[in-house]
Amino acid sequence: MRNTFKYALLLVGMTSLPAMAHIGYGGRDFGTFTATPGATSTIINQSFTGNHGWIDGTDADWGDSHRLRAYKFSLTEEADVSITFSGLSFVNSAGATVLGDTNPGFSLYSGLAHIAPFAADYDSAPGSIAIRDAVGGVGLTEGSFRTLTDWSITNDNNDPASVFTYIGSAYDGSSIDYGTGVIPGADGLADHMVSQVFHLTAGDYSIFVGGTDYFSSGVTPLPAYGLTGVVSVVPEPETYAMLLAGLGLLGFSARRRQAV
């Protein structure tokens, strides 16, 4: 290959990167937490495109990660972490109103996608397709994203795959069954908000958030839905139990003193 051609290709690749929205955490890093309860981080005015991204990863042909938003956070020690996402309308930088009426779902994984200086991961990278073909059958998957189990993906440089190890998931509204059985994790109340507490060890975590309307993927153009996310460190249940037990002992000794 002539060098000028190579550089031209390189330039095309570089200039087209920002528009492709491969997996990245830009503006969506909740930060690093210790086990001390009370720390909280809120990220507003993010969005995903299409209202089916999360639920589409529950079927046999998996899902397109471009239809979800990726967030990350880190823990320096074992902790109970509350994760909440709400569909919330806002006006974007182009002056357009982003819809708020989604019923979001999210999945939590340990592991991170490639970040700079590595190239971003995306579904149709040759390495990503090879991973899918090996697990899901040649040509049988539509994307790399899997809602309820582990998955892997890589970039154009075939760096060792990013591995997302499934921890848990939750979604807003009543239980969904689009024909493959009930999808677990419904919160039972369709209020555009879903929240769940996870007991986690120290490490790096990714959250993928998307819509839960399975049959909406044919809408053109796909609307964007606004999203607010909150990650907080909360007291562990044993802490509550110890606190209650302590209060009970105090009450007992107070009664004893009164009786004497």
Q: Which residues bind Ca ion (CB under 5 A)?
A: 56, 59, 61, 63, 172, 187, 189, 191, 193
Q: Nearer to Ca ion by C-beta: 120 or 194? A: 194
Secondary structure string (H, E, C) spanning 127-181: HHHHHHHHHHCCCCCCCCECCCCCEEECCCCCCCCEEEEEEEEEECCCCECCCCC
Beta-bridge mates of residue 152:
163
Q: CB of 109 within 8 A of CB of 164?
A: yes
Q: Least CB distance from residue 14 to Ca ion, whole Å?
A: 31
Q: Nearer to Ca ion by C-beta: 52 or 72? A: 52
Q: Least CB distance from residue 226 to Ca ion, whole Å?
A: 16
Amino acid at 24: G
Q: Nearer to Ca ion by C-beta: 68 or 112? A: 68
Q: Least CB distance from residue 229 to Ca ion, whole Å?
A: 14
Q: Least CB distance from residue 143 to Ca ion, whole Å?
A: 7
Pairing between strand 79-87 and 224-234?
antiparallel
CB atoms within 10 A of CB 200: 21
Q: How is residue 243 written in tokens?
A: 């606190």
Q: Nearer to Ca ion by C-beta: 162 or 212? A: 212
